[in-house]
Amino acid sequence: MAVHNHPQQGTGFHLPSLRRNRTTAAPQTDAAALGEAHTARAYVFGSVRLLMGFVFLWAFLDKTFGFGYATPSGKGWIDGGSPTLGFLSSVKVGPMESTFHSWAGDTWVNWLFMLGLLGVGLALVSGVALRLAAVAGTAMMAFMWIAEWPPAKHLSDGSASMSTNPFADYHVVYAAILIGLAVVSAGNALGFGRLWAKLPFVRDNGWLR
């Protein structure tokens, strides 16, 4: 009796197809993980931005209304107090000591300082114009750093300066954070950065972002 070899019928289970599905699933999983990490990073930067905004806004509000923290009650700007007189007149060290003394309490200095606090604070909280906020905020931090002059071990009267770090004090850290927030476009999460960037005059002038 002759025996004929017939091709076997498929069982419906195709191992190569299963491997192919696993291969294609891996990039999709990696892409999802990358997207989640990107989103998490964006929200972290957005949260840091809001905290920094509150730092500037609180300084403005306390100096304006005298909430009794850094500014005593009844000594606020609206009460006739000067937001710069106490700090600048008490400078006792650094290359601009006499200059700061001459500026202390001047109307133009008060307005420039307070508008800077308000403008940077609002920009950070809303997530718009972060590049301008970084420039203005860094300039303010630079002047305050010079006023305190951390590199000095002694004040002009010979007493100890009590400086905790000759360079990287909180003014430098704040400036670095401001610049970093602008570089990563931290206003896109928890803010209006994306909407701001779509405005025609902002789109045509990148420095406004």
Give 138-177 pLDDT, tens digit per residue.
Answer: 999 999 999 999 999 999 999 999 999 999 999 999 999 9
Say if residue 21's pLDDT is above 80: no
Say if residue 27's pLDDT is above 80: no
Beta-carbon contacts of residue 117 (< 8 Å; ≥ 6 apart): 56, 57, 59, 60, 63, 140
Q: What percent of the chain has pLDDT over 90?
A: 80
Q: Structure pTM?
A: 0.82
Task: Select the more confidently predicted residue: 7 or 57.
Answer: 57
Give the single-character DSSP code of 72: -
Say if residue 36's pLDDT is above 50: yes
Q: What's the CA dihedral at 181, 183, 184, 190 to 10 degrees?
A: 40
Q: Whose structure tokens read 């430098």? A: 172
Say if residue 78's pLDDT is above 90: yes
Query: Exposure string (b/e) for 74-111, b if CB count within 10 Å is 16 or more?
Result: eebbeeebbbbeebbeebbbbebbeebeebbbeeebbe
- Residue 99, pLDDT score: 98
Tell me if 49 sits within 8 A of 124, measured CB to CB: yes
Task: Select the more confidently predicted residue: 121 or 26.
Answer: 121
- Residue 38, pLDDT score: 78
Q: How confident is the model at residue 31 (pLDDT cuts 50, 70, 90)?
A: low
Tell me if 193 sits within 8 A of 124, measured CB to CB: no
User: What is the torsional sign of CA 72, 51, 56, 172?
Assistant: positive
Tell me if 93 sits within 8 A of 110, measured CB to CB: no
Per the prediction, the chain carries an average pLDDT of: 89
